[in-house]
Structure 1
């Protein structure tokens, strides 16, 4: 088993370029199935989840040509619909939560799709109901086969309709939008997600010939069209990586410049980190974070303890709450972290407590962090990464800790962060990949 061995406790320095956005990539790459024409997509992150999706598209019959390190051409002119019933599809699709994103485009263009029950992070329930309720409203019929764990969906004639979504799901909204662009008539989606990644998808679909209005709001109107053409698209930088690097700089007392961040698309993220006391400057489109000996958590105006919680965009993204929690360990002051969306995402705090962090896990959704104000360093330990974001949070903790840490199950980290070991080494981190099994295995 691959693991990272880290010797922490020293400041880092240098420039780092964020990868293309993972969550945008899974939507945009799935959208190539909506047209038989060539699509050129750049700034694609080289990570396991994205590479698995590209492999899945190749198996479906999409012609894929990698023209540069982060740039691919896709042409979905000859799709093998029968592939859905194969064991190989069940295996490939089931290992990737993002595989749900191909259902909308396939329904729109071919009138049918199937998907095995997806895998992915172990962070609690992730319902797929929102996707399927939306497809049903558009006229699709689906059957879940409990024996084979397959969702089979039939939609020979999708019809535009009014959809009030039960939750502002980003992937659910994206999937329903992709199904609706080729449906007959007009579709209205209320309580739609409005994350920058979804805005990117809608803008790209409009360049392909779709008619989507209300982009950036929670009310989307889609006039169905007969067909879509090809286009080119460049991904945004990954806002979760950008937030992770801000937290890393603060925790390790490092001077780091994060390059080409598309600052206007980061929403409330920089504000939340500044409320933890982290100073930064915007230099052009780069974020410069100076080395700080200490950073002090803000309080509410009445003096009560700051609460940081997740919310649908433009609220704070749940993917960065683990990073905020770790960063707060060495801050001056206290903060309550409230993870509303996933019930298991805070369970990694026991590892941080073992390292010397002062954290009270109140319940599966809330944790109080009592900042150490850099008066004592965390200590290195052995630990296992439960999911992508917790894995990177543990990695940040290890880089700030005194002594040696070992993180197992780094495949989880590599599902979301490309070449993370080499990029951290370039900043001066003492990190290396080893082959090791956790104790008890």
Structure 2
């Protein structure tokens, strides 16, 4: 959510930032709405003062027996009372209209974010690891012989339709181990507090993180009004909703492993084979609540936590800064981490870490009180994948595939697999 006062103070800067996102100027429209709203408020205050004055004079007129003046003043009080109510109602309606309009406008990119139109303009800032030199033609995860017995997409389609998965045996075990490995690493090595949260939330929670109202079609809603979370960013960020946190306790760094649900609206024809793009999937999410001045340092820290998981799993990756045209709605700056998938001969996104500044906190009224006291201020919020479990499974299987159809599993994962080290060509975990 944008601060109308900031737009009022520097409309040119607001429009210039929108232009970097490829959007037309909006300050004129917004300030016109704001001016009309404020005029109604001022008129209501003026009418209220006139009502109060007349109310005081009514008793005096009655006391001196001036019946005509008494009746005139009493009528004036009634008139001003009705006028105040009408003006306040108009101001409230215009305020709601302005708030709704502001809620539709994406966050402003930081000046350091590269300008661009789409993913082709993203800027690589880090590359780690070298893809294995293979003496055979690698295949995608769903074609690896050792994986096929544990990946039953036909059963998933029978049960639920397209973009769902059924995992069995060794593949299911590796998937579960990956999630536990990620959570344990984040909590024991990265200082994140583990959380367990609902996957069903109210409208207010989805609104607070920017998923509503503009992106309703991207999520699923139950018949009684709950929303299925697209990620636990929604739940953990909303821990701050309506709260005033103690500034001395910041930053708050959290992680959660949850099921996630996305309609994948607009993705028809993309990644239809395998398990890369699903309606239901699991993710280990990271969320940070901090002082706005610390947000950029926390962003780099969060990105490092996600990168560390891939490095422990010996999975080559690259990190890019998203350009202004490829950023998400609520982000000020985003790092995407893309893991190497030999079956596709390409790097594919496995984590997206974003700093949102105070954008989400304003929507949910999440604040903190500075350590030295003083007026509460809006928090900065950050979120990132640490990591998407299904996509990490794909990366582990494809990077570990062998010429005989078996899969060698990363050494870092062995303790979470009871010492098992590979999947045989027949699909057994040994």
Q: Normalising to structure 1: TM-score of the pair?
A: 0.22
User: Which protein has the larger Cα radius of gyration, Structure 1 or Structure 2?
Assistant: 2
Q: Normalising to structure 2: TM-score of the pair?
A: 0.22
> Which has the larger share of helix?
2
> Which has the larger share of strand?
1
